Homo-oligomer: A and B are copies of this chain.
């Protein structure tokens, strides 16, 4: 029977909250950004992207380089394709994958740099 509609949080600093809220980026944008980071947040995908930054490669070469199954690589390549990070061209039965743009490279480089600096 108690009045539960009142917010349980009491300590909120109204002014701070308002200020920061006004400075926040749009929810949707931040969601997309985190979604993009997520792609780099898997070591298999990261390895694929790094390998492709050195040379265009076909699926089975990637599988050999990463020492993983063709299927696993193919699945991840699909993810990367969907997110427009890689493209591919067909040559006979082979599919040669390559990076869609070099944002990818600078992103990885920054990640590596920051990681190294923390050690």
Contacts and interface: CB of A to CB of B under 8 A. Distances in A.
A25 interface: yes
B43 A41 contact: no
Given A24-B47, A33-B112, 8 more contacts: A9-B60, A11-B60, A13-B61, A16-B55, A33-B108, A35-B41, A37-B38, A37-B111
A74 interface: no
Contacts of A51: 20, 24
B33 A63 contact: no
Nearest to A56: B16
Contacts of A110: 106-107, 110
Interface in A20-50: 20-21, 23-25, 27, 29-43, 45-47, 50
A77 B70 CA distance: 38
Given A23-B54, A33-B46, A57-B20, A63 B9 contact: yes
11 contacts: A9-B64, A11-B94, A13-B58, A20-B51, A25-B112, A30-B47, A30-B50, A33-B112, A35-B41, A38-B38, A103-B114
